[in-house]
Amino acid sequence: ATTPRVALVTGTSSGIGAAVVGQLREQGLQVMAVDFNPAGAVVAEKVGAVFHQADLTDADACRSAVADAVSRFGRVDILVNNAGIQHVAPIEEFPEQKWRQIIDLMLTAPFLLTQAAWPSMRENGWGRIINIASVHAQVASPGKAAYISAKHGLIGLTRTAALEGGAQGITANALLPAYVKTPLVDNQIADQAKLHGLSEQEVIEQVMLKNAAVKRLIEPSEVASLVAYLASDAAGAVTGASWNIDLGWTAQ
Ligand code: NAD
């Protein structure tokens, strides 16, 4: 019998990352869940994943996370770059420190983790890099300069990895969700309600779903299902692609 594949998933203490860890475990994969929030340990234990605590804005912490996975499981087959944060402010007032934190976490960490996991994937002639981008990798909204820049950059990293990995059995794809029901979005609903003087329901309907053909928020499990597909053998011909899960937002 072949040993189960090994996945390293970042940003796993809540939301999309927690759902991805759960689904990959359900499919029998070995999973290392990486998050700076110690609450991630409970989420991981519940589904039999290993937890590694790390602040991924730190370059050495990124490299150590991959080294830990390799020392525990012998390799890394699947890397899911998911950890992310948001900060909303107009460019004129956007704090430089927030800009750097967001670029470090959401663009530099995926690069460093990809770089660190690459030798293991290359040696095995099989690898999957799955980057959780956003509809904001394709379109902009005011007030989110750092997030949108990081996500647009992540598409460039995904495409480059796809080209370099093609001959080595390594695929790289990006997922571009619109608003998913997670703590990250709950916080934005509360903030925007205050900002626009609307109720939370009005924010969802008038702001978040303004461009959506399907008028509801996305479930984390819906994103996790696509991750599970892209992580599978069945997706070997799929690489360099940007997968919209955006309720039809970018169809117009
Ligand atoms: P979330 O806030 O529920 O989860 C983000 C995770 O990242 C948390 O577990 C958090 O602890 C972790 N994290 C934050 N800073 C970290 C750091 N420095 N080091 C390590 N871990 C850190 O958010 P989510 O909505 O599940 O978002 C996950 C990803 O999906 C993000 O990249 C986000 O940009 C993207 N995304 C979310 C939505 C949405 O509507 N929720 C839409 C499109 C894309």
Q: Residue 90: what pLDDT?
A: 97
Would the pTM of this model clear 0.90, i.e. be above it? yes
Specify whether 147 is located in the same domain as 194: no
Q: Mark whether 186 and 100 lie in a shared domain.
A: no
Q: Which residues are catalytically annotated?
A: 147
The verdict on 69 and 130 lying in the same domain is yes
| 140 within domain boundaries | yes
Please give the distance, rounded to the nearest whole angstrom, from the Cα atom of residue 69 to the centre of ligand 1.
21
The answer on 166 and 196 residing in a single domain is no
- Among protein residues, the one with the nearest Cα to ligand 1's atom 8 is 11
Give yes or no: residues 152 and 192 share one domain: no
In a domain, 1, yes or no: no
pLDDT of residue 240: 98
**Residue 1 confidence (pLDDT):** 54
Q: Is residue 141 part of a domain?
A: yes
pLDDT at 143: 95
ipTM: 0.99
Q: What is the pLDDT of residue 184?
A: 85
Q: CB-based contacts of 115: which residues, under 8 Å, 6+ apart?
A: none
Question: What is the per-residue DSSP string for 103-172?
Answer: HIIIIIHHHHHHHHHHHHHHHHT-EEEEEE--GGGTS--TTBHHHHHHHHHHHHHHHHHHHHHGGGTEEE
CATH of the domain at 61: 3.40.50.720
- Domain-embedded: residue 24: yes
Task: Assess whether 173 and 94 both reside in one domain.
Answer: yes
Tell how far the Cα of 2 is from the centroid of ligand 1, in angstroms. Answer: 32
* Weakly modelled stretches of the chain, pLDDT under 50: none
Same domain, 107 and 163: yes
In a domain, 252, yes or no: no
Q: Best mutation site among 97, 184, 226 for ligand 1, i.e. most ligand atoms within 8 A of its Cβ? A: 184
> What is the best residue among 14, 148, 189, 242 to mutate for testing ligand 1's pocket, by most ligand atoms within 8 Å of CB?
14
Atom of ligand 1 lying closest to residue 36 CA = 20
Q: Do both 54 and 167 map to the same domain?
A: yes
Any domain includes 72: yes
Same domain? 140 vs 199: no
Is 101 part of a structural domain of the chain?
A: yes
Residue nearest to atom 11 of ligand 1 (CA): 37
Domain count, the chain: 2
Do residues 127 and 154 both lie within one domain? yes
142 & 211 share domain: no
Is there a single domain that holds both residue 15 and residue 51?
yes
- Supply the range of the domain harboring residue 109: 6-178+219-246
Instruction: Examine residue 138 and state whether it is found in any structural domain, yes or no.
Output: yes
At 50 the pLDDT is 98
The DSSP secondary structure of the chain, one letter per residue, reads -PPPPEEEEES-SSHHHHHHHHHHHHTT-EEEEEESSTTHHHHHHHTT-EEEE--TTSHHHHHHHHHHHHHHHS---EEEE-------B-GGG--HHHHHHHHIIIIIHHHHHHHHHHHHHHHHT-EEEEEE--GGGTS--TTBHHHHHHHHHHHHHHHHHHHHHGGGTEEEEEEEE--BSSHHHHHHHHHHHHHHT--HHHIIIIIITTT-SS-SPBPHHHHHHHHHHHTSGGGTT--S-EEEESTTGGG-
Task: Give the dihedral sign, CA 215/219/220/225.
Answer: negative
CB neighbours of residue 143 within 10 Å: 17
Distances (CA, A) of 65 to 120, 151, 159, 164: 14, 22, 24, 23
